[in-house]
Amino acid sequence: MEKKILVVDDDISILDMLKEVFTSAGYTVLTAESAEDALNILINETVMVMFLDIRLPVMSGIELCKKIRMEDKISIIHAFTGYSSLNGLLECRGVGFDDFFIKPARLEVLLKAAQDSFERLERWKICDYGLG
Amino acid sequence: MNKTLRVLMIEDSENDAILMSRTLRREGYDVVYEIVDTSSAMRTALEHQEWDIITADHGMPKFSAPEALAIAKELRPSLPFIIVSGEIEINMAVALMKGGAQDYVRKTELFRLVPAIERGLKEAESIRKRRQAEEGLQKRVKELNCLYSIAYFIEKIDSLEDLFQSVVNDMPHSWYYPEHACARITFKDQEFKTANFQKTVWTQSAELIAHGKPVGTVDICYLDKMPDRDEGPFIQEERNLINAIAGRLGRVIERKWAEEERCHYERLHGVVEMAGTICHELNQPMQTIAGYIELILKNTEENDPIHVKADKINKQLHRMVTITEKLMRIDNCESEDYAGFSRIIKFNQNSANNAK
């Protein structure tokens, strides 16, 4: 299985940095600067691990996650936010985010999250069902 | 059933007194009477007993009707006063009537006595009722004036302290003996009082209650002993008034508290929103910096000068991260002095409590 990660953030410097980090860790990285771009990518690509910024222009990360979850209940979606509170956490868990990271997060933590996600997907044997 | 009639007779002839009382009894009265024929005896009788009517003879050796009338008007101005005498000069009769005597009955025409007395009693009763109504009205006007000024103060005065002081200064005017009255309001550990305030045994108090809890008292004291009324020297209307004052002030306190709470909340809300914006704006670039520094640290040897410098940058960056973490946990908006020229939100302390 190709280990593909989708990173969505309107801050290009963050996209660049994460792309470098995940690529050098052996992942295929797709990036999008807006929710709309991300949805377009997902039309053609099957991505099972994602990192979504919460505060995006036009459609927020919350809305984006809701939209993805309408069709996809399996993929592992991480929220990645510049600001949070208990309400933010509740909102994220409510719309179907699996995990929640507050910026600035250490690369170690993000890499561990990516690694754990793929291990989980493997354990679920989603490839056997023609997913992933 | 016979009506009791208490008659004070200014009379020197016991026979005439008996004659009068017999006339009254015949008309159905239970007569209780006392005869006096000197001014001192009359004073004593008026001061120590209750009477329904005074009758006065004119020609007595030691006393006269005009003298008796003067004493009656001085001590019991509302008591009906009827001249029952032998023939008196017309000018004298007119003078007595002008001076306040209700009627003049000749002793030879005692059949006129009962109608005269009845008219006198009726007149006295209506005067008494009118006076009572006037007094009631006056009390009511005082009460309304006081409540009106309080409503005015509440509308015009913003601080509770100034409001309490104004109410306290105004209160004594509304009590029955304003020149002997003083007032005080206690609220938490504060005290507001009239300049002449002194706690005495003649005190009327009401509790100030806000949100069901006692927060102070409203007191009015008389500085001197006054005649006993409904509640010590105070009348029922004054009890109602002090309760009404305390009730209104209690509601003002509650409103003030709610306003303060709302202000605090609005301010906090603004601070929290601002903190959120700052966190977001700072955390974005910090993520990029932190990421690249971590990459440099990972890809260089520990003794590499670049590694050493990157490590230093990393430590400073983590100081900044701690600050945005604290900002995200702000839950209070108390401010503190900043170098004497400004005030800033006391946020280290807040977050210290929350960081645990």
Q: Is the pLDDT of residue B40 over 60?
A: yes
pLDDT score of A132: 60
For chain A, the distance separating the N- and C-terminal CA atoms, rounded to the nearest angstrom, is: 7
Q: How far apart are CA A51 and CA A99, in angstroms?
A: 9
Can you give the pLDDT at residue B58? 87
- Asked if A25 reaches chain B (Cβ–Cβ under 8 Å), the answer is no
Nearest CA in chain A to B273: A83
Burial degree of A87 (CB within 10 A; 0-12, 13-18, 19+): exposed
Q: What is the pLDDT at residue B31?
A: 93
Kindly state the greatest CA–CA separation across chain B.
Answer: 143
B279 touches chain A (CB under 8 A): yes
Instruction: Identify the band that residue B214 occupies on the pLDDT scale cut at 50, 70 and 90.
Output: very high
What is the model's pLDDT at position B269? 87
Between A128 and B54, the more confident residue is B54
Q: What are the tens digits of pLDDT across the range B315-351?
A: 999 999 988 888 888 777 677 777 667 777 776 544 4
Best residue in A83, A86, A102 to probe B by mutation, most B CBs within 10 Å? A83
What does the mean pLDDT of chain A come to?
92
The partner residue sitting opposite A11, judged by closest CB among B284, B294, B317, is B284
Q: Do B280 and A14 touch (CB under 8 A)?
A: no
Residues of B in contact with A56 (CB under 8 A): none
Q: What CATH number is given for B135-257 in this structure?
A: 3.30.450.40
Residue B277 pLDDT greater than 90, yes or no: no
Topology of domain B3-128, per CATH? Rossmann fold (3.40.50)
Beta strand pairing call for B103-106 and A28-32: unpaired
Which chain A residues are Cβ-neighbours of B283 within 8 angstroms?
82-83, 102-104
Residues A31-81 have pLDDT tens digits of 999 999 999 999 999 999 999 999 999 999 999 999 999 988 899 999 998
Q: Which of A13, A106, A108 sits opposite B288 (nearest CB)?
A: A13
ipTM: 0.82
Provide the pLDDT for residue B139: 81
Enter the pTM of the model: 0.54
Residue B296 is predicted with a pLDDT of: 95
pLDDT at B339: 67
Contacts of B223 (CB under 8 A, 6+ apart): B180, B181, B182, B196, B198, B200
Res. B356 pLDDT band, cuts 50 70 90: very low
Question: What are the residue boundaries of the structural domains of chain A, listed by start?
Answer: 4-129
Residue B306 has pLDDT above 90, yes or no: yes
User: What is the H or E stretch that residue A103 is in?
Assistant: none
Predicted confidence (pLDDT) at residue B294 exceeds the cutoff of 50:
yes
For residue B335, what are the β-bridge partners?
B345
Q: What is the pLDDT of residue B32?
A: 93
Q: CB B284 to CB A103 under 8 A?
A: yes
Which CB contacts under 8 angstroms, 24+ apart, belong to B39-45? B39/B63, B39/B67, B39/B68, B39/B71, B42/B8, B42/B10, B42/B68, B42/B71, B42/B72, B43/B71, B43/B75, B45/B8
Does the CB of B284 have a partner CB in chain A at under 8 Å? yes
User: Is a pLDDT exceeding 50 seen at residue B103?
Assistant: yes
Judge if the upstream peptide bond of residue B115 is cis by omega within 30 degrees of 0: no
Decide if B3-128 and B135-257 have a common fold.
Answer: no
- Chain A residues closer than 8 Å to B294 by CB: 106-108
Question: Is A102 touching B (CB cutoff 8 A)?
Answer: yes
User: What does the DSSP assignment read for A20-62?
Assistant: HHHHHTT-EEEEESSHHHHHHHHHH----EEEEES--SSS-HH
Band (pLDDT 50/70/90 cuts) for residue B233 is very high
Residue of A nearest to B274 (CA): A83
Q: What does the pLDDT look like over B140-197, one tens digit per residue?
A: 888 888 888 888 998 899 899 999 999 999 999 999 899 999 999 999 999 999 999 9
Q: Which amino acid is located at B260 in the chain? A: E
Task: Give the rounded percent of residues in chain B with a pLDDT score beyond 90.
Answer: 61
Min distance A20 CA to chain B CA atoms (Å)? 9
- Contact (CB<8Å) A14/B284: yes
Q: How many CB atoms within 10 Å of residue B275?
A: 21
pLDDT of residue A117: 96
Q: What pLDDT was estimated at residue B215?
A: 95
To the nearest whole number, what is the mean pLDDT of chain B?
89
CB contact under 8 A, A11 and B294: no
Contact by Cβ (8 Å): B177, B222? yes
Question: CA-CA distance, B294 to B307, in Å (whole number)?
Answer: 10
Q: Are the C-beta atoms of residues A82 and B284 closer than 8 Å to each other?
A: yes
Of the candidates B284, B291, B292, the beta carbon closest to that of A82 is on B284
Query: How far away is chain B from the Cα of A18, in angstroms, using its nearest Cα?
Result: 8
Give the CATH superfamily of A4-129. Response regulator (3.40.50.2300)
Asked if the Cβ–Cβ distance from A83 to B295 is below 8 Å, we say no
Residue B135 banded pLDDT, cuts 50, 70, 90 = confident
> Domain residues of chain B, as ranges?
3-128, 135-257, 263-355
Cβ contact B99:B66 at 8 Å: yes
Summarised one tens digit per residue, pLDDT across range B54-78 is 999 988 888 999 999 999 999 998 8
